[in-house]
Amino acid sequence: MTADGLIDVHAHFVTDSYVAAARSAGLEHPDGMPGWPTWSVEQHLGMMERSGIEKSYLSVSSPGVHFGDGSAARALAREVNVFAARVRTEHPRRFGHFASLPLPDVEGSLAEAAHALDVLGADGVALETNHHGLYLGSPEFEPLWEDLDRRGTVVFVHPTSPPHADDLSLGRPRPMLEFLFDTTRTASDLLFRGVLARHPRIRWILTHGGGALPLLADRMEMFRTLLGGGPVDAPSAVEQLSRLWYDMAGTPFPRQIPALDAAFGVERLLYGSDYCWTPAEAVLAQVEAVGSATQPSATDTWRDLTTRNARHLFAADAR
């Protein structure tokens, strides 16, 4: 592995017991997808070698760990976090870990965040864009944001199905469109409810180039100015959204990342594979597309840029 290998902030794992728990809750086709992927450490490392990925930060994808039973969600969060921490310990140069939290259970999430960050050594936490219909600006979540802001935590925000997804998705898998819209929706909620302004030390990562945010940021600012939204003395919507981190999982070129660059710049752009929900061959094709895209500068490749950005994100002085 070369020193300039990609750093993948959007990488997933599943375990047999996690999938069994989801299926027991009736989630045979999560988010309208045909079924569950398979995953193993060996498969993941093989994909990384083929793709030139130096390190992957593992997280549980949608639908998260809360399937309706609060105590079961706490137990499942602890189980998957202990598993991922063990993988990280066995392969410290190849894997990091964003811990799952049992939201919308705030008390349980505070306890699990403390255990994951202080005991297991997680690199951050992973949340969904909404938790049983509660978006991330919801006042109920404020104690969690206070704690994560105090810690300067990396918070990886993964999209999930919105409320009434069956009606909205028109029978299509929700990751195709609804995931991108739900990322946009929860980011706007964080912005307009003032969470971003109140908690500037949280290092938020949004996925898939920020969804529709690059196209809608100016429109959001227009409404913020006309109707109010968030603290009156807060920076503009574009300024606040430019302070977030974005990964390029999905179809970054030829159109999505240039749109993100025009809106927010690429100083906080990160690489994401979306493996294992994205098959290995599709990851390889995406890496090839990234490699063949026009470079962001005369001296940087997209690989150089995203790897340098990731090292800055996880550096101690970024807190």
Residue-number span of the structural domain to which 64 is assigned: 6-318
User: Is residue 254, in this structure, part of any structural domain at all?
Assistant: yes
Instruction: Going from the first residue of the chain to its last (319 residues), give the mean pLDDT of each consecutive group of 10, the final group possibly shorter.
Output: 78 98 97 96 98 98 97 98 98 98 98 98 98 98 98 98 93 95 98 96 98 96 83 88 98 96 97 98 96 94 97 75
Helix, strand or coil, per DSSP, at residue 179: helix
User: Is residue 240, in this structure, part of any structural domain at all?
Assistant: yes
DSSP state for residue 189 in the 8-state scheme: H
Cα separation, 197 vs 36, whole angstroms = 38
Can you give the pLDDT at residue 225?
A: 86
Cα separation, 219 vs 69, whole angstroms = 39
Cα separation, 253 vs 282, whole angstroms = 14
Helix, strand or coil, per DSSP, at residue 270: strand
Can you give the pLDDT at residue 236?
A: 94
User: Is residue 255, in this structure, part of any structural domain at all?
Assistant: yes
**Strand extents, DSSP E, 133-193:** 134-135, 154-158
Q: Are 181 and 160 in contact (CB under 8 A)?
A: no
Q: Which residues of 171-196 are buried (b: 16+ CB within 10 A; e: fewer)?
A: eebbbeebbbbbbbbbbbbbbbbebb
- DSSP assignment of 20-88 equals HHHHHTT-SSGGG-SSPPP--HHHHHHHHHHHTEEEEEEE--TT-S-SS-HHHHHHHHHHHHHHHHHHH
Give the closest residue to 98 by CA, choosing from 74, 79, 125, 120: 125
Can you give the pLDDT at residue 316?
A: 58
User: Is residue 1, in this structure, part of any structural domain at all?
Assistant: no
User: Is residue 62, in this structure, part of any structural domain at all?
Assistant: yes
**Facing residues of 23 across strands?**
none
Q: Are 96 and 55 in contact (CB under 8 A)?
A: yes
User: Is residue 242, in this structure, part of any structural domain at all?
Assistant: yes
Can you give the pLDDT at residue 212?
A: 97
Give the closest residue to 165 by CA, choosing from 29, 279, 38: 29
Following CA atoms 257, 263, 265, 271 in sequence, which dihedral angle do they give, to the nearest 10 degrees?
Answer: -30
User: Is residue 56, in this structure, part of any structural domain at all?
Assistant: yes
The total domain count for the chain is 1
Q: Are 174 and 129 in contact (CB under 8 A)?
A: no
User: Is residue 126, in this structure, part of any structural domain at all?
Assistant: yes
Domain containing residue 141: CATH number: 3.20.20.140
Q: How many alpha carbons fall within 13 Å on the CB side of residue 301?
A: 13
Can you give the pLDDT at residue 44?
A: 98
Phi, psi (5° rounding) for residue 100? Answer: -80, 145
- pTM tops 0.85, yes or no: yes
Cα separation, 62 vs 101, whole angstroms = 12
